[in-house]
């Protein structure tokens, strides 16, 4: 097993990752080497329902290099069509249909190595979100959930039924 | 059964049978109290693991007492007391909700909690008793999440 894959597996077996999974924040769907697929779940207290979105992360060079990711259709095991991307709130910027498709569907935030290229200013503008060896795939998943929580489409009722505690 | 044991320093995972007492499982010192996650009152001293078996996540906090959280939003601070095993996302629900700052529903989801004066993200399943450390107070800021542009 290569060092990046070993580091990824270690973090997927960490208490922090397991605690998030047990709370229903995410589910590990599949892993093939350094390619790993998750279902992310957010929970809307008012609506008593959740929004569920698949993501795939390419963790080549992990953890020295930030992953790059894309939204993923778990049922189709394929990239999620742009028309189905969550939008609204911070989601419109992170899942940017005008930028991301040109970069493999990458997330427009500092935990995606493709987005980091050309955005050196993010480190000073967002010191709480600087990728380093202290960050793990768990940080990526938490940030994605934080962004996903702000999305307004697709509607929560249409997107999923699973509850997170 | 897998049990997450949180305290003032962090969390660890232990495996235990339902018949085991939480005091034994956690190794809590005499005088310490054990709180179920998100509970406002401590468990009985002789409570067993089985008492929490119907929960999706079996997590407890070993601590001394409640934590008084002061959340500041748009220059106004509001205090509230919670059990030390309260998750940060439950405090967020309180802070944005009717009993907190009553933030309009369309704006609530954009807000996050950070340690006062910090921009570092907080895991939503972090217990406030861990963030408070050995103390019994915790100061947080309620502010919009980072927007990445440029």
Per residue in B87-122, pLDDT (tens digit) is 999 999 999 999 999 999 889 999 999 999 999 999
The predicted structure's pLDDT at residue A140:
98
Contact B121 A146 (CB under 8 A): yes
Confidence of residue A50 (pLDDT cuts 50, 70, 90): low
Q: Across the interface, do A15 and B124 touch by the CB < 8 Å criterion?
A: no
Distance CA B53, CA B64 (A): 24
Model pLDDT for residues A57-116, shown as the tens digit of each residue:
999 999 999 999 999 999 999 999 999 999 999 999 999 999 999 999 999 999 999 999
- Å between A22 CA and nearest CA of chain B: 6
The whole-number pLDDT of residue A44 equals 61
Do residues A140 and A67 touch, judged by C-beta distance below 8 A?
Answer: yes
The confidence score (pLDDT) of residue A162 equals 41
| Helix pair A3-12, A137-148: axis angle to 10 deg | 60
Pairing of strands A35-44, A26-32: antiparallel
The pair of three-digit structure tokens given for residue B1, joined into one six-digit string? 């059964």
How far apart, in whole angstroms, are the C-alpha atoms of residue B148 and residue B150? 7
B75 interface with A at CB cutoff 8 Å? no
Give the pair of three-digit tokens for residue A159.
């997107």
- Structural contact between residues B85 and B127, judged by C-beta atoms closer than 8 angstroms: yes
Cα–Cα dist A77/B111, whole Å: 32
Radius of gyration of chain A (CA): 15
> For position B23, what pLDDT does the model report?
95
Output DSSP code: residue A4. Answer: H
At A110 the pLDDT is 96
Identify whether the C-beta of residue B53 lies closer than 8 Å to the C-beta of residue B87.
no
Give the Cα separation of B88 and A43 in Å (integer). 14
Put residue B10 in one of left, alpha, beta given phi > 0 → left and psi -120 to 50 → alpha: left
ipTM metric: 0.94
Report the predicted TM-score, pTM, of the whole model to 2 decimal places.
0.93
* pLDDT tens profile B38-96: 999 999 989 999 999 999 899 999 999 999 999 999 999 999 999 999 999 999 999 99
CB-closest option in A22, A125, A129 to B57: A22
Q: What is the pLDDT of residue B150?
A: 79
* Average confidence (pLDDT) over A128-154: 93
The alpha-carbon radius of gyration of chain B (Å, integer) is 16
A120 contacts chain B (CB < 8 A): no
Check B121 against A20: CB less than 8 A apart. no
- C-alpha dihedral, B57 to B63 to B68 to B71, nearest 10°: -50
Q: Where are the beta strands (DSSP E) in B74-136?
A: 76-82, 111-115
């Amino acid at each position: 097993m290569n060092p990046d894959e070993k580091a990824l597996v270690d973090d997927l077996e960490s208490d922090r990752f397991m605690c998030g999974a047990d709370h229903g924040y995410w589910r590990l769907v599949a892993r093939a080497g350094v390619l790993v697929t998750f279902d992310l779940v957010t929970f809307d207290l008012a609506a008593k329902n959740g929004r569920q979105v698949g993501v795939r992360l390419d963790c080549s060079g992990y953890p020295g290099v930030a992953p790059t990711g894309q939204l993923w259709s778990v049922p189709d095991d394929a990239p999620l069509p742009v028309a189905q991307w969550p939008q609204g709130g911070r989601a419109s910027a992170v899942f940017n249909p005008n930028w991301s498709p040109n970069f493999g569907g990458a997330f427009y935030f500092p935990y995606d190595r493709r987005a980091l290229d050309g955005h050196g200013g993010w480190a000073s503008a967002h010191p709480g979100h600087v990728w380093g060896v202290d960050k793990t795939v768990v940080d990526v998943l938490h940030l994605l959930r934080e962004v996903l929580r702000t999305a307004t489409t697709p509607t929560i009722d249409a997107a999923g039924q699973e509850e997170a505690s | 059964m897998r049990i997450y044991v949180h305290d003032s320093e962090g969390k660890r995972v232990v495996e235990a049978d339902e018949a085991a007492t939480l005091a034994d499982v956690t190794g809590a010192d005499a005088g310490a109290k054990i709180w179920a996650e998100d509970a406002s009152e401590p468990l009985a001293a002789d409570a067993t693991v089985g008492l929490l078996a119907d929960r999706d996540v079996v997590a407890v906090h070993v601590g001394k007492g409640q934590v008084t959280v002061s959340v500041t939003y748009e220059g106004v601070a509001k205090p509230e007391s919670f059990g030390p095993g309260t998750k940060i996302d439950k405090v967020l629900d309180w802070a944005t909700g009717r009993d907190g700052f009553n933030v309009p529903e369309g704006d609530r989801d954009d807000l996050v909690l950070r340690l006062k004066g910090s921009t570092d993200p907080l895991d939503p399943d972090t217990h406030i008793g861990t963030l408070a450390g050995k103390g019994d107070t915790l100061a947080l800021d309620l502010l919009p999440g980072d927007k990445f542009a440029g």
